[in-house]
Amino acid sequence: MPANALNRICYVEDDEDIQRIVRMSLERVGGMTVEIVGDPMAAIARIRAFKPELVMLDWMMPGMDGPALFREMRATGDLKDLPVVFITAKASQRDLDELRAMGAAGTISKPFSPKELPDQLRAIWAALP
Partner 1 sequence: MDFARTATAQAAARDLQQSADPRMVLADRVEHLFAQMPIAIGATIVAGIFATLELQGRWYTELVWYWGAIVLAYTAAATGLLVSYRRSPTRHADAEQWLRSIGIAALANGVSWGLAGAVFFRSLADDQQVFLSFLVAGVTSIGIPIYAASWPIFAIYAAGILFPFTYVLATLGSRLFFDIALLVPVLYAVYVGIAYRLHQVFASGYRLRHAYSKLTEDYSALNQRLGQQLVELEEARRQVEASGRKLALFAERSPIAVFEFDAHGIVLSANPAAETLFGYGAAELIDRTATETLFQTMGKADIARRWRELIRSRSPMFGLRAASTRRDGAEITCEWSLTPLVNAENRVISVIVQGRDITQQLEAERMKQEFTSTLSHELRTPLTSIIGSLQLINSGVLGDIDKDVLELTSIAERNGQRLLDLINDILDVEKIESGKLTLFPEPMQLSDMVAESLTLNRGFAERFKVRLAAEGELPAVRVNADRKRLLQVMTNLLSNAAKFSPEGSTIQVGIQVEAGSARVAVNDHGPGIPEGFRGRIFGRFAQADMSYTRQKGGTGLGLSICKRLIEMMNGKIGFCDRSGGGTTFWFELPVHH
Sheet order of strands, 8-12 included: 33-37, 8-12, 54-58, 84-88, 106-109
Instruction: Name the β-bridge partners of 56.
Output: 11, 85
Binding mask 1-40 for partner 1 (x = CB under 8 A): --------------x-xx--x--xx--xx-----------
Stretch that binds partner 1, among 1-9, 64-72, 73-81, 90-98 (CB under 8 A): 90-98
Please report whether residue 60 would count as binding partner 1 according to CB under 8 A: yes
Give helix then strand counts, H and E, for the chain: 5, 5
Binder of partner 1 out of 62, 90, 101, 129 (CB under 8 A) = 90
Binding of residue 111 to partner 1 (CB under 8 A):
yes
Handedness of CA 103, 4, 112, 66 (dihedral sign): negative
Binding of partner 1 at residue 42 (CB under 8 A)? no
